[in-house]
Amino acid sequence: AQTVTQSQPEMSVQEAETVTLSCTYDTSESDYYLFWYKQPPSRQMILVIRQEAYKQQNATENRFSVNFQKAAKSFSLKISDSQLGDAAMYFCAYRSYLRSGTYKYIFGTGTRLKVLA
Amino acid sequence: EAGVAQSPRYKIIEKRQSVAFWCNPISGHATLYWYQQILGQGPKLLIQFQNNGVVDDSQLPKDRFSAERLKGVDSTLKIQPAKLEDSAVYLCASSRQGNTEAFFGQGTRLTVV
C-alpha cells in the first residue's frame, strides 16, 4: 500500500524569504501523480501544484516549485518570496490508481506553515 | 463553474445521536469522495463513489457510518450513533473521470460532546 510521510509538523518563514516543505512516499507503482494541497483556516483544500511521475522536469507554478526525486521517492515543495497569505496547512498527496478506472488520493499528515511579518 | 457544496458548515451533537452531512459535487464529476480529517491529521478516505456505485469503502466504520449517492450526483454521509472520536472535519471532494485533480468542498466540522 502507498504511504505519504511529512516529517515537519510545523515550519516558519520570514516574509519574502524561501521555505521548503518535505514529503516522502512509498509505492511500487511506476506511473502516478503527486500533489501539494494548501488548507487555510477556511478548511477548503486548494491545489497548489501537481507532478506527473514520468515527467523528469520539476513542476513550477509562479512562486511554487517542487523538487521531485523519483528514485529517492521524495517530493518537496519550495515557496519563494513567501507572503502572509501563504500561511496554512500544506498536505502532500499521492494519487493511486484503482482497478475500477478511478483514482484515490492518499494524504500525509500535513505541515503547518507560519509566515512571520 | 460552481465548486463542491457541503452543508452544514458546523454541527454539534451529543454522543449516541445521529447526524447527516450533504455534498453536491461539481456538475459532471463522476467520482465523489468523503474524507474524515481529525484535528492535526491529514484527510483519511472514508468512501469513494464512481457515479452511484461504491468503489472503495474499506475504511468506513460500517457499524455506524453509511453513505449513499442514489442518483449519481449529490451524496449523504450519516453517522448513527455518534461517538466522541467522530469529532472531525468531514470533507467532500469530486473529480472528473480520468482527471488528475480532486476539488474539495469547505467541509463540515462535527463536534460530538
The pLDDT tens digits for B7-38 are 999 999 999 999 999 999 999 999 999 999 99
The residue type found at B72 is G
Closest Cα of chain A to B110: distance in Å? 13
Tally of domains in chain B: 1
Mean pLDDT of the region A5-21: 97
CA distance A84 to B45: 30
Q: At residue A12, does pLDDT exceed 70? A: yes
**Which CATH number belongs to the domain containing residue B57 in this structure?**
2.60.40.10
| B52 touching A (Cβ < 8 Å) | no
Q: Is residue B5 within 8 Å of residue B29, measured between CB atoms?
A: no
Q: In order of start, what are the domains of chain A with their CATH numbers?
A: 3-116 (2.60.40.10)
Q: Which of B21, B101, B109 to mutate to test the interface with A (most CBs of A within 10 A)?
A: B101
Q: Is residue B3 within 8 Å of residue A46, measured between CB atoms?
A: no
Closest Cα of chain B to A108: distance in Å? 6
Burial class (CB in 10 A: 0-12, 13-18, 19+), A37: buried
Q: Is residue B24 within 8 Å of residue B32, measured between CB atoms?
A: no
Q: Would you state the cell numbers that stand for residue A24, as one nine-digit string?
A: 516522502
B41 contact residues in A (CB cutoff 8 A):
109-110
CA distance B51 to A44: 23
Tens digit of each residue's pLDDT (9 = 90 or more) over B61-108: 999 999 999 888 999 999 999 999 999 999 999 998 766 689 999 999
CA distance A105 to B83: 26
CA distance A10 to A46: 19
| B55 touching A (Cβ < 8 Å) | yes
Q: At residue B57, does pLDDT exceed 90? A: yes
Q: B57: domain range?
A: 5-112
Tens digit of each residue's pLDDT (9 = 90 or more) over A60-117: 999 999 999 999 999 999 999 999 999 999 999 999 887 767 888 999 999 999 999 9
CA distance B20 to B46: 14
